[in-house]
Structure 1
């Protein structure tokens, strides 16, 4: 976690509140060291920018790690549907592969 980068990202967010990338980048800064904070940011990003596809993979993984099974399942499902709607083949593959692993882990 880089505090200078966090400060800069917060500044960018205040200057461009409708840019989902800056919010996503901030969530990624917290991802490893403060996963709950990152998850809160990712949930807000899904609510505010539901078409921002990169959010779904990371959010679903954090939910899975936190054993929030139902919400992880929902986020994976919505992410896969969005990737298909956007015809993003790489995201479809990545989300479906991760979702399959999630389902195996749950069995």
Structure 2
């Protein structure tokens, strides 16, 4: 286990509702090719902090990698709706492009 992974787990243990820490832990698992653990962290973040905008692009991309395109499409659509609601033009553009790419690949 990497030192960074250990630190993130420890910090998340102290602050279990910290969305950024959960996201960072998911990304670290992803980096270490622990796909199921990364997906678990993204799913927990999605459930507990659905307003965390950074979640949608990365979660859907990993779902696609894991051949879960239908779920990825749903995540993209929800992220697009949230970006529209919050006025986050950058995230909206990224999510729309990613969704289009997924649609073209199906």
**Counterpart for residue 51 of structure 1:** 51
Question: Partners in 2 of 1:99 and 1:71 — Cα distance?
Answer: 12
Structure 2 stretches of 5 or more lacking a match? Answer: none
Show CA shifts across 1:5-26 (max 9, x none): 1111111111112210000000
Report the alpha carbon displacement of residue 85 of structure 1 after superposing the two structures with TM.
1.1
Deviating beyond 2 angstroms after TM superposition, the runs of 4 or more aligned structure 1 residues are: none
If the length of structure 1 is used for normalisation, what is the TM-score?
0.92
**Paired residues, number:** 105
**Counterpart for residue 23 of structure 1:** 22
Report the alpha carbon displacement of residue 64 of structure 1 after superposing the two structures with TM.
1.1
**Counterpart for residue 99 of structure 1:** 99
**Counterpart for residue 68 of structure 1:** 68
Question: Partners in 1 of 2:38 and 2:16 — Cα distance?
Answer: 17
Show CA shifts across 1:51-84 (max 9, x none): 1110110110111111112211110100111111
Structure 1 stretches of 5 or more lacking a match? Answer: none
Question: Partners in 2 of 1:84 and 1:31 — Cα distance?
Answer: 28
Report the alpha carbon displacement of residue 87 of structure 1 after superposing the two structures with TM.
0.8
Question: Partners in 2 of 1:90 and 1:41 — Cα distance?
Answer: 24
C-alpha root-mean-square deviation of aligned residues, in Å?
Answer: 1.1
Question: Partners in 1 of 2:85 and 2:2 — Cα distance?
Answer: 36
Question: Partners in 2 of 1:87 and 1:37 — Cα distance?
Answer: 31
